Amino acid sequence: DTEVTQTPKHLVMGMTNKKSLKCEQHMGHRAMYWYKQKAKKPPELMFVYSYEKLSINESVPSRFSPECPNSSLLNLHLHALQPEDSALYLCASSQGPFGLAGVSSYNEQFFGPGTRLTVL
Amino acid sequence: SQQGEEDPQALSIQEGENATMNCSYKTSINNLQWYRQNSGRGLVHLILIRSNEREKHSGRLRVTLDTSKKSSSLLITASRAADTASYFCATPYTGGFKTIFGAGTRLFVKA
């Protein structure tokens, strides 16, 4: 199974709502990522989890709260978002920067289809 | 700021023609990757080229890497309408989990 799934596909929320995005993979990958992508722009890294621990937070506002309950799941909790947070949110996973041998820096990322978020 | 910059920003060609996209990056890398993204969907990994490789092929894709110029190119031969997508180069920071994507090239292949 080489698929990363994301739910929901689309989400519309008000600025006072609390919602969560979910991501799941069953490839045994120990690194998982959240990206934000605006129209006609490249994905921008938000968070990286490695072995269920937060490794990188790219100075993301606290209204975005990531969570990694186990090695297969990644959540992004949303609260008090702003209209400018409307974007495509992509989840990805990879073996990490090092392969099983601990030498290679091969880190192809497998992406989910994304959640299209609209904040009203 | 983005690590990789790509040109052209957009490219429109006829089916059957070749498409070439270029990527430049700023820091030392140990590999460079190319991804494709169909409109509004997730990215799909196309090919990875290591810093000690100069050229790599995968089907109709040919990637070159020039570490002295800090640049890479992606050539798609005999393009098809289904190749219409955005193409991004991506460079991982050495030793880290962070991958930086270039600005991307939007390719339109007309049938």
Cα B51 to Cα B31, B44, B64: the distances in Å are: 5, 21, 10
> What residues in B contact A90, CB-CB < 8 Å?
42-43
Classify residue B95 by its DSSP letter.
Answer: T
**Option in B30, B40, B100 nearest A105 (CB):** B30
**Res B30 pLDDT > 90:** no
Tell me, what's the pLDDT at A103? 41
Q: Which residue in B has a C-alpha nearest to residue A95's C-alpha? A: B97
Determine whether the interchain pair B98/A50 forms a contact, defined as Cβ–Cβ distance below 8 Å: no
Residue A111 distance to chain B (closest CA, Å): 6
- 37-76 of B, contacting A, C-beta below 8 A: 40-45, 48
- Comparing CA positions, the residue from B92, B102, B93 lying closest to residue B21 is B102
Q: Do B48 and A108 count as a contact with CB atoms less than 8 A apart?
A: yes
For the beta carbon of residue B70, count every other beta carbon within 10 angstroms.
18
Interval A3-15: pLDDT, tens = 999 999 999 999 9
Q: Are A105 and B88 an interchain contact pair (Cβ–Cβ within 8 Å)?
A: no
Q: Which of A7, A105, A115 to mutate to test the interface with B (most CBs of B within 10 A)?
A: A105
Q: Tell me: the pLDDT tens digits for B56-104?
A: 999 999 999 999 999 999 999 999 999 999 999 998 775 557 888 999 9
Q: What is the pLDDT of residues A73-93, one digit of tens each?
A: 999 999 999 999 999 999 999
**Could you say which DSSP state residue B37 is in?**
E
Mean pLDDT of chain B: 90
For A3-16, letters b (16+ CB in 10 Å) and e give: ebebeeeebebeee
DSSP structure string for A30-92: SEEEEEEE-TTS--EEEEEEETTEEEEE-S--TTEEEEEEETTEEEEEEES--GGG-EEEEEE
What CA–CA distance (Å, rounded) separates B55 from A26?
Answer: 32
Instruction: Please judge whether A43 and B94 are an interchain contact, meaning their C-beta atoms are less than 8 angstroms apart.
Output: no
Determine, for residues B97 and A107 on separate chains, whether the beta-carbon distance falls below 8 Å: yes
In angstroms, what CA-CA distances link A117 with A14, A78, A84? 11, 10, 10
Identity at B38, one-letter amino acid code: N
Q: How far is A46 from chain B (nearest CA, A)?
A: 10
* Chain B CB contacts of A106 below 8 Å: 31, 48
Alpha-carbon span B73 to B106, nearest angstrom: 14
> Chain A contact for B102, CB < 8 A?
yes
Q: How many residues comprise chain A?
A: 120
End-to-end CA distance of chain B: 36
Min CA distance, B101 vs chain A (Å)? 6
- Element housing A19 (H / E): strand A18-25
Contact A109, A93 (CB under 8 A): yes
Which residue type does A55 have?
S
